[in-house]
Amino acid sequence: MSDKIVIFDTTLRDGEQAPGSSLEIEEKVEIAKQLSKLNVDVIEAGFPVSSKAQFEAVERISGSTDGPIIAALARSIPKDVKKAYEALKNANNYRIHTFAGTSDIHIMGKFSDTKYGINLNEKRETVIKMAADAVTYAKTLTDDVEFSPEDAGRTDINYLCEIIEAVIDAGATVINVPDTTGYTMPLEFGEKILLIKKKVRNIRKAIISVHCHNDLGLAVANSLSAISSGARQVECTINGIGERAGNASLEEIVMSLNVRNDYWDFDTDIVTKEIYNTSKMVSKHTGMIVQANKAIVGDNAFAHESGIHQDGFLKNRETYEIMTPESVGLNKSKIILGRHSGRHGIQSRLSELGYELTNKEMNKVYSKFLELADKKKEIFDDDLRILMGDRNVNKNNSYELDYLHVNNGTNTIPTATVRIKTPDSIEQESATGDGPVAACFKAIKRALKLDYDIKLHDYKVRSITSGKDAFGEVIIRLFINDSLYISKGTSTDTIKASVKAYLDALNQYENDKNSRYLLFIEESVNV
C-alpha cells in the first residue's frame, strides 16, 4: 500500500496574500466548493483576526463546504485562536493553525519589545511558551491543531527541534515546517526534515507538513524533497499563487506524484480531472493571469508548435507528452455552444466546469448567454467562465449599465453618454474626456452625482478568449476615498468592459464600505 500525502490547500489564505489578488467573499465560497470537488484534504480558508471580511469568509466557507477539513490561521495569541475558532465552529471538521516566527531574524524583529525578554535567548524561551500556550488553548476548542514555526527554513535547527517538541507535548497533531522565504535548497530542506525526525523525541505523535515559498523557484522541488524525507502533508496553492513569488503549486506536486508513480510510492486523493477548472476559476477570480508556459495548467502546457513535434505527436502522442490533457480536465474536444443551444446543454456544461446554479441564477445566466450568442458565433468554455465571473450574474448591484454611446475619432473630442440603472432610478449624463474611457468614467461620476474622491491608479486590458470576436478583460485599480478597489469588467467591447469594471468598483464600494481593502487597519497583523 502506498502512503497518502495530505493536500493542504492554502489558496484562500496564503494565495490570497499574493500582490494584486482580489477575491470577494462570494468568489471565495465558490472556490472553496471547487476545491472540495478537487477533493483536497484541507482548505485553509483565511486568517479570521486580520479583518472582518476574512472572518466572514472563513465563517461562510465553514458553513457551506462539505468534505475537506476547514482550517484557519492564528498567531500564537489567545485572541487570534479564539477568533479562528469562532469563524470555524460551524464546519463539520475544522483545524486551528497557529504559528510563531522562530528564526533569529523573525524573533528579533517581531518580538523586539523587552516584554518578550532582553536578549535572544530570553525571547526564544518566550516564543516557545507563547506557542505551547496557544496550542494548549486551541486544544480546548478542537482536537485538530497545527503549529508552524515560521521561517523554519532559516531557524537554528536545535531551537527548531526544541519548539516542535514543546508544541507536540502541548497537543499539536500537525507540525508544519515552512520555508517562509523560499531560502533553502532541495537537498538541504530534505535533510532538515530528517533531522527533525531524528532529534524530536515525540515526533511520531504528529504528522510532518511542509509549506514552501518560491522565491528561488524551488518550492515544488523542496516540497518533493521533504516528502522523500518523511513529510506527509504538503501545503500548496492553485497556480502556485501566494506571497511574493508564490507558494508551491498544487497541480505540479500532485501531477509529479501521479505521473511518476513508477518513482514515488505515494498517492493523493486529488481528482486530477478537476485541476484545470480549478486553475481557471482561481485565475479569473483573483485576476492573476497564468503564464502560458506554466506546467500543467498554462495555455501552452499541451500545445505543440514545431513541425517536428507536431509530426511526432501525431504519430504517437507519448513522443512529446508525459500526461494526457484529459487527465487534468482539459477538454480537447470542445463542445461548441451557440445561439441554438438550450438551457439544459448550457447548465450541464456549466456543471462540468464546476458551477452549480439555482434555477433563478440559471435564468439570469441564460439571458446573458443569449445576448452573447447574438454577438459570437461559438461560445467556448472560456466564454462561459467569463459569463460566470461577471459579477452582475451573482449579485444585486446598486449600479448597472443600461446604455452607452461613445463618440471618438481622430478629429473629434471623445464624448460619452451613459445611462445607469440605480436601485430606484435611471440616471443619464454625457461628458468629454482625454480619451473615450476617461469620458465614460466622467459621465458615470456625473450621472450618479458621486461626490466622493475617485482616483484611477492602474488600468490593464487583455484579451481572454481567442478569435476576432474575443472577450476583452479590463482590470482597474481605483482609490475611492483613499481605499483601494480592484475590479474587473469583461465584454467583447473594451470600452464597455472598462465601464463595467468602473461600475464594479463603485458597487463594491457601495455594497461594502468597510471592505477588506481596509485590510489590517482595524487590527494591524503581519504574516
Instruction: Considering only residues 438 through 497, tell me which ones interact with ligand KIV, judged by CB under 6 A.
Output: none
Least distance between ligand KIV and beta carbon 354 (Å): 26
Stretch that binds Zn ion, among 7-15, 121-129, 186-194, 361-369 (CB under 5 A): 7-15
Q: Which of 55, 99, 137, 355 binds ligand KIV (CB under 6 A)?
A: 99
Least distance between ligand KIV and beta carbon 151 (Å): 6
Instruction: Considering only residues 14 through 73, tell me which ones interact with Zn ion, judged by CB under 5 A.
Output: 14
Indicate if the alpha-carbon torsion angle 85, 86, 89, 94 is positive or negative: negative
8 binds ligand KIV (CB under 6 A): no
Instruction: Considering only residues 133 through 172, tell me which ones interact with ligand KIV, judged by CB under 6 A.
Output: 148, 150
- Of residues 44 and 59, the one with the C-beta less far from Zn ion: 44
CA distance 8 to 5: 9
Stretch that binds ligand KIV, among 176-184, 251-259, 282-290, 331-339 (CB under 6 A): 176-184
CA distance 254 to 281: 18
Query: In the structure grid, which three cell numbers stand for residue 150, read together?
Result: 515560521
Least distance between Zn ion and beta carbon 14 (Å): 4
Task: Please work out the total of residues on this chain that contact ligand KIV, with binding judged by CB under 6 A.
Answer: 11
CA distance 21 to 195: 36
Report the first-to-last Cα separation within the chain, whole angstroms. 38
124 DSSP assignment: H
Element (H, E) at 208: strand 207-212
Q: At what angle do helices 275-286 and 25-38 cross, to 10 degrees?
A: 170
14 binds ligand KIV (CB under 6 A): yes
Stretch that binds ligand KIV, among 87-95, 175-183, 280-288, 301-309 (CB under 6 A): 175-183
Whether 170 contacts 132, CB under 8 Å: yes
- The residue nearest Zn ion at its CB is 14
Least distance between ligand KIV and beta carbon 295 (Å): 22
The closest alpha carbon to 236, from 258, 252, 259, 217, belongs to 252
CA distance 71 to 43: 6
CA distance 276 to 359: 26
Q: Give the CA-trace dihedral at 192, 197, 201, 204, to 10 degrees.
A: 140
- Of residues 73 and 464, the one with the C-beta less far from ligand KIV: 73
- Of residues 14 and 252, the one with the C-beta less far from Zn ion: 14
527 binds ligand KIV (CB under 6 A): yes
Query: In the structure grid, which three cell numbers stand for residue 191, read together?
Result: 535533510
189 binds ligand KIV (CB under 6 A): no
Least distance between ligand KIV and beta carbon 420 (Å): 42
Q: Which of 124, 211, 477, 516 binds ligand KIV (CB under 6 A)?
A: 211
Task: Please work out the total of residues on this chain that contact Zn ion, with binding judged by CB under 5 A.
Answer: 1
CA distance 106 to 282: 31
Instruction: Considering only residues 357 through 376, tell me which ones interact with ligand KIV, judged by CB under 6 A.
Output: none
- Of residues 49 and 505, the one with the C-beta less far from Zn ion: 49
- Of residues 101 and 389, the one with the C-beta less far from ligand KIV: 101
The closest alpha carbon to 214, from 295, 286, 157, 156, belongs to 295
Residues forming contacts to ligand KIV in the complex (CB under 6 A) are: 14, 73, 99, 148, 150, 176, 178, 180, 211, 213, 527
